[in-house]
Structure 1
Amino acid sequence: MQTQIIENLTLYSGNIPGAKEAVNNESVESQDATGRFIIEVSQPQLTAYWPDENLRNGCAVVICPGGGYRGLSIDKEGEAIALRLVKLGISAFVLKYRMPADRTMETRQWGPLQDVQQALHVVKSHATEWQLDLSKIGVMGFSAGGHVASSAAVHYQDPVLTTLSPAMVKPAFQILIYPVISMDSKITHGGSKASLIGEDASPKDIEYFSNDKQVNSDSPRAFIMHANDDINVPVENSLRYYRALMAAQVPVQLLLLPDGGHGFGMYHDYDWFQSLVMWLKVNQLVS
């Protein structure tokens, strides 16, 4: 059987909780050799990438592309990653999460977290049907998508939607690639912070969405990768998160590259994905 790509999996049945009625202005802002950058996403969706049946190992990953909470590098940090994962027997789900916007959301900072929690709930709810192992369903995120993924990893105890249970929204592991972690103005990505919680955010929101401050001993194990020369999202984001996980005695692997800047996806001389494969094997997520 050839790898199947199933478009437009339903994320919500019926109306999206917390969403306002608004015109869908989603569009492709730019496109280059690495793919599309889409903006003004207000209609979330999951795209499933299935491995060949003889390869499936029960592992699944919900992938959150980056884009500074302004848009999504949907191909470079979504589809391209999914196509690598399915070769390992992993079922991959690219999440097109909504961009925080007062025009489309009652409370904009909850939209992306709500969407990733809903995605995890949907994938876990279909675990038997999709031949998935509940103990091997995790999240992966790039840049601001790394903030979405790490938010899922630290805020599962109190789901945005009270109809969801913590067990059904908690990822088993987290893979964070040059992630935005902190809302601390000293190290955050200014555009991500402004879009999500506002430049003049309350101390409460800054604390809540600084995910290094939200780690506990039950947080999921982690693989983190960052380039030391990243000027858009300083490497200190990953270092703080690594130190917080270490302090909580959560298993974590940190891969630091000497250069590469930000947003390179798979386009780097160092194939960091091979290091991720080794981590997946060591953690018995793939054989």
Structure 2
Amino acid sequence: MFISLFILTCLHPCYGHPSDIILWDHHVVPNSADIIQNEQLSKTGSITRVSTPRLHIYRPTYQQNHAAILVISGGGYAHEELGHEGTPTSKYLQKQGFTVFELVYRLPQEGWTSPLVPFQDGQRAMCIIRSQSKFYGYDSDKIGIIGFSAGGHLAGILSTTWKTPYYPPTDAIDTISSRPNFSILIYPVISMIPPLNHTHAYKSLLGIHSSLADQQALSVQLLVTPETPPTFIAHAKDDPVSSVKNSILLHQALDKNHVINQMILFPDGGHGWGLGKKGTTTTQWPALMMQWLKETKII
């Protein structure tokens, strides 16, 4: 009862989503340094300067499949492509019967005292989502995560380091497991190690000069264990931003650890295609993902 009441008192309608969940009480936002900044939302739906991390909730349009999913947009950890990635995907998944939670997270280079604030927001979000399973009517063991590009890196981190607390516990919600039950990674950034450490995500998290130890600590392929959740990966071979080698490395690590996974490589499509780039086979990934989720009996 405490957890449900806590969440309901944090609903915040002023962002255009009447059922937003605010992740943190403003007194306990980790690494905040009392930052107050005005959010910036571009005409295309790209957001920056987030100081109130939150979840947009999309309840199932039709018959519920009793599963929930956290959606994380990319943007190199410098902005969040809600308009192109997170929101369209949330609406698609809503129609498939999911209870969807779209994450709006803090960005590392905006004055916080730690660059790992996206990890804190993501981990907190997973705890909250699991705490609300009875309230929203989905199974607590059918909670997944999907991320695009840098959002795919964040989803990968949350899928592999869920035993690592990224912030001191603030309430009873933080005692709940943040482990996703399945993971969907779309053209993800995975490795922070040369020669793949040229992405904006790498620069935002680690800067230009970082130690090999720091690079390894944030390279998802090195964090995979047999406890990593079943994973679906989709990537285009001609991706000029996040090399397809990122997904291949992760796929190999998952296989090595005997983790159920499927990797789909499209011949073209580039980067940042969201639900798919018209005229390419990347438009097939949502249907392929749903097929995989059903074949593996995840949903």
Q: Same fold (TM over 0.5)?
A: yes
Q: Which residue of 2 aligns with 1:64?
A: 72
Instruction: Give the whole-Å Cα distance in 2 for the aligned partners of 1:205 and 1:102.
Output: 20
Aligned to 1:9: 21
What is the distance in 1 between the residues matched to 2:85 and 2:193? 25
Alignment partner of 1:136 is 2:136: no
Residue identity over aligned pairs, in percent, reads 34
Contact 2:193 2:212 in 1 (8 A): no
Which residue of 1 is the match for residue 128 of structure 2? 122
Q: C-alpha deviations, 1:190-216, integer Å up to 9, x for none?
A: 311111111112222211100100101
Cα shift at 1:189: 4.2
Match of residue 177 from structure 1: 186
Task: Determine helix, strand or coil for the equivalent of 1:135.
Answer: coil
Match of 2:221 in 1: 212
| Worse overlay, 192-201 or 138-147 | 192-201
Structure with the bigger percentage of strand = 1
Q: Deviation above 4 Å: which 4+ runs of structure 1?
A: none
CA RMSD between the two structures:
1.5
SS of 1:123's equivalent in the other structure is: helix
What is the count of residue pairs matched by the alignment? Answer: 274
Instruction: Using the TM superposition, give the Cα deviation of residue 155 of structure 1 relative to its aligned residue in structure 2, in angstroms.
Output: 0.7
Q: Which one of the candidate residues 221, 225, 236 is aligned to 2:245? A: 236
Contact kept? 2:78, 2:109, Cα under 8 Å: no
SS at match of 2:158: helix
From 102, 108, 123, give the equivalent of 1:100: 108
**Cα distance in 1, alignment partners of residues 103 and 159 from structure 2:** 16
Q: Which structure 2 residue ranges, 5 or more long, are not aligned?
A: 1-16
Partner-residue secondary structure (3-state), 1:169: coil
2:48 equivalent to 1:39: yes
Preserved CA contact (<8 Å) 1:188 1:237: no
SS of residue paired to 1:94: strand
Q: How far apart, CA to CA, are the structure 2 residues paired with 1:95 and 1:102?
A: 17
Equivalence for 2:166: 160
Match of 2:155 in 1: 149
Amino acid at match of 2:40: S
Q: Please give the secondary structure, in 2, of the residue aligned with 1:46.
A: strand
In structure 1, what is the Cα distance between the partners aligned to 2:95 and 2:198?
33
Deviation at 1:285, TM superposition (A): 3.2
* 1:266 pairs with 2:280: no
Deviations 1:139-181 (A, max 9, x none): 110000000100000110112124234x521111110000000
- Where structure 1 has 5 or more consecutive residues not aligned to the other structure, the ranges are none
Are the counterparts in 2 of residues 24 and 43 from structure 1 also a CA contact under 8 Å?
Answer: no
Change (3 A) 1:189 1:281: farther
Query: Cα deviations across residues 14-63 of structure 1 (Å, max 9, x unaligned)?
Result: 421221112314212x43xxx311222232110000004x6112101101
Which amino acid in structure 1 is aligned with residue 295 of structure 2?
A: V
Partner of 1:223: 232
| 2:12 counterpart residue number | none
1:23 corresponds in structure 2 to 36
1:283 partner amino acid:
T
* Cα distance in 1 for residues equivalent to 2:290 and 2:274: 15
Q: CA deviation at 1:7?
A: 4.1
Calculate the TM-score normalised by the size of structure 2. Answer: 0.88
In structure 2, the partner of 1:82 is: 90
1:55 corresponds to: 63
